[in-house]
Structure 1
Amino acid sequence: MAVSQGLSIGALADRTGLAVSAIRYYESQGLIAPWRNSGGQRRFHRADIRRLSFVMIAQQFGFALPEIRELLAGLPGKRTPTPADWTRISETFRNRLDVRIDTLQKLRDNLDGCIGCGCLSLPKCKLYNPDDRARQRGSGPRYLMGDVPDQSG
């Protein structure tokens, strides 16, 4: 099939391993943008193979589709991304993964102790968060988010 004719949805499914319904869903989410040929059939750019492969990888790392769409926004839609394109996007991807890894490590290390939720439901929380002091710093699991428990009192 000539590149100018694009890929059919079946050919794209074969190349990516995705179901046709998944490809249609990703299209509806704005992650790929096919065009219609003179017969009204969807046609996809060859670059969509890489775009969809990236979507699958990013989802495995826990990225939500809105985040993936944001990451893909900087990639060209009609040509295969260059090494420079992927370097740019992978830098952002790597930074976000580093933040997630740090958060997961903090969660792992504090799993059996107070994470600063302010619930005071565990006796140990009174040691880490007396009088619900973490609540003064804001909502959420303050110590997991990087706050340090007060050492006084």
Structure 2
Amino acid sequence: MKGRKAPLARELSVGEVARRSGLAVSALHFYEAKGLIASRRTAGNQRRYGRDVLRRVAIIKVAQRLGIPLATIGEALKTLPEARPPTAADWRRLSQHWRADLDERIRKLTRLRDHLDECIGCGCLSVETCPLRNPFDTLAEEGPGARLLEGDGG
């Protein structure tokens, strides 16, 4: 029966998932240890993954490229149904949830870019006047001592 394709296997080995996803086997083991993906063990103690793991791995990789922490990704993946691969609607829901965080990081990076020249250009990197480290000298109001300098400063 030439030209017929073999039926797709219901489950994939860790090597097949690695090949199809472009990830190292060790990365898949790491994701599994973090609870991001799951496998079952065969009688010979080999990992077997459902085909839906390929879509889950794709979501993980895209989210990581956005700078989303693995813990946050894991929480989002827990909201997905386990009986089927994530759909486009599932992705839209996850991505909308992450959009606000991404927009805030873009705002902060834009501010950093816009103030970078004047900060470095001043030559002193003064804590009192630096628009990046101490915008509007707000730290002076808190008194002396160490401070976490993450203020957004406008």
With structure 2 as the length reference, what TM-score do the two structures score?
0.74
Q: State the alpha-carbon separation in 2 of the partners of residues 82 and 93 from structure 1.
A: 17
Displacement of 1:55 in angstroms is 1.4
| Closer, same or farther: CA 11–126 of 1 in aligned 2, 3 Å | closer
Identity of aligned residues (%): 42
Aligned residues: CA RMSD: 2.9
Indicate yes or no: 2:97 matched with 1:92. yes
1:27 aligned partner, one-letter code: E
Question: Aligned pairs, how many?
Answer: 137
The question of whether the paired residues in 1 share the 8 Å contact of 2:12 and 2:50 is answered with yes
How far apart are the structure 2 equivalents of 1:126 and 1:87?
Answer: 40
Structure 2: gaps of 5 or more residues: 1-7
Residue identity in the other structure for 1:56: K
4+ long deviations beyond 6 Å: 126-130
**Pairing 1:15–2:20 present:** yes
Partner of 2:87: 82
Equivalent residue runs for 1:1-153 within 5 Å: 1-3=8-10, 6-113=11-118, 121-122=125-126, 125=129, 133-135=137-139, 136=141, 139-142=148-151, 145=152, 147-148=153-154
**What TM-score does the superposition give when structure 1 sets the normalisation length?**
0.75
